[in-house]
Structure 1
């Protein structure tokens, strides 16, 4: 069987993990031939200073025959968009490729090539506004860790590139192979694209004053407690109206929305890490009933609690083998 060719595009100032993470996933699957291409063959400096020797420049690698084109991100992506030879090679390779993908801000190169027009895409949360502003024909979704729209796949920052690569392997070779690769690389076995890029600590601003910090600490310490505005105001030593105003100003969301987000994450962890019944988790995490938890999950995550558990719970390997533990909503690396 002929190996599928995966072509990675890099440039000066690329994010090294955008390349090495997905590259290892495909290599570990054993059914791919990975090549790396840049404007020129030779050493290419990453954003962190790591030098990668690239065997192929755009003038000596035929863009035909690429099965999957993967464009990485990094701080140098803006300058790379001005590289006419590189952009021409990306456009030619994409025209014949079965799939086109980007990691993090690599989406800017695909957008510059006109490959994202009319499509729903994602990128690192720190650059989604720029992408939407500069390419108004692109439908930018800032929340998911990766998005598939037809033959085009886009992912958020850094580690999301490995999730994307695992999804591509699963699409080609099946779930068992993707899970075997994940176990070998000690990755999360199932982290579908619909999972959010954000945890509460990242999604919201940090409190700037001690009274609001006290209220936030109380919420995180016991998500299942009542946490009405009067109770939080008592923790903060402020009047309810004053806390409402200060909390919203400092964190960007009102207390009720913040409490709900913390409770959702507590329920996510409980569903992923244990066998406790859904109704018990709902009560413990402050949702009162399983139906309230279900409605909140559908509104915030687009899935039922039972489906979330099926996707993210620990998956046992061979007898006696350690289990891979999923996390709730992880940080997707530094802005690229």
Structure 2
């Protein structure tokens, strides 16, 4: 989910006038609805796992597709990193056209192939197509390719606002689904036959699975690993990531546009003199899951953006083979503006550490704004 779309949505609703903003602000709830996620019936869990079984190959092929000019950072990188470390599927990162994929709000990567090259190598299609949030829901190449992959029997997985792209392809018509809280009304307005399912981090229906916000990609991938290789394998990967447990429960009412969210975004956006460019050093073999979560979080504060740097301009390969192109090279970033990716910690804990660091630097309200954008059910 693009942070710019949230800020302009907030500013647009506020009509950029003090009086109008005050009236509009008064209509917002003072806080999200505190609730305990309801339990998920065992039969629903079993049905979800059955729906995610490999549709074609014994060792499935998973393709993660993105637009070259703007695809969400964590939506694109986390599924790749988690599935690769699980070693239960062949995984490829794709772009709709040649060249690198510029992720938002941070990072640039070199994909494995274009969708055209993938089609030439795999005319029978993928087993799973993972669709991140993109800058456009109606890109003709992406839409046509998704429809073609669905016709070939691929299971389509829309991560976060990637569900809007899946919906634009007509693949969610008449189906149960979810998406990021900020884009839910927009998706349902465009595709009114979709049946929204609340209080679930992921929803499967007839060959298509959708998820809530950005951080749902981790439980989504662990659920997919369980469907492919069993619970024991998923638990091993979860421990490697630093998770003791995961499930599909979600307290949907805890996420939404609130008064503190709007006022914090507004104040941070207006403080143009207080903007920081923070450096993330790229190192060969670094964990792409930690990198994605940290860079994503620091670029959603409306006070800072994360810029990558390395010794040389060439792509730096992560531990699971993602090639990250540095924004800057041949420089040494000032120590007080460096952002750690916590290489000595488990990847699942990297986001909590980043949120703590954001709170220490900019305050708890800004940290909460970041967590809300990521739709992260922080304990």
Q: Give TM-score, length-normalised by structure 2.
A: 0.51
Unaligned 5+ segments in structure 2 are 1-56, 262-345, 353-369
CA distance in 2, matches of 1:155, 1:36: 19
User: How many pairs are equivalent?
Assistant: 211
Mapped pair 1:196 → 2:251: yes
* Residues 125, 143 of structure 1: 8 Å contact kept: no
Q: Per-residue deviation at 1:87?
A: 1.5
Q: Per-residue deviation at 1:5?
A: 0.5
Mapped pair 1:205 → 2:280: no
1:134 maps to: 190
CA distance in 1, matches of 2:371, 2:188: 21
Q: Give TM-score, length-normalised by structure 1.
A: 0.57
1:65 maps to: 125
Q: Per-residue deviation at 1:103?
A: 0.2
2:168 maps to: 112
**Could you say which structure has the greater relative contact order, defined with CA pairs below 8 angstroms and 6 or more residues apart?**
2
CA 71–158 in structure 1, closer or farther in 2 if over 3 Å, else same: same
CA 170–60 in structure 1, closer or farther in 2 if over 3 Å, else same: same
Q: Which of the residues 20, 23, 40 maps onto 2:80?
A: 23
Q: What do the CA deviations read for 1:53-105 (whole angstroms, capped 9, x no partner)?
A: 1232222211523011110114x033xx1x32222111111222342111011
Matches within 5 A, 1:1-336: 3-11=59-67, 12-62=69-119, 64-74=124-134, 76-78=135-137, 81=138, 83-192=139-248, 194-199=249-254, 202=255, 205-206=258-259, 331=371, 333-334=373-374
RMSD: 2.8
Q: Per-residue deviation at 1:162?
A: 1.3
Instruction: Tell me which stretches of 4 or more aligned residues in structure 1 moved more than 3 Å.
Output: 202-208, 330-335
CA 110–93 in structure 1, closer or farther in 2 if over 3 Å, else same: same
CA 186–332 in structure 1, closer or farther in 2 if over 3 Å, else same: farther
Q: Per-residue deviation at 1:203?
A: 5.1
CA 197–163 in structure 1, closer or farther in 2 if over 3 Å, else same: farther
2:71 is paired with a residue whose SS is coil
Larger Rg: 1
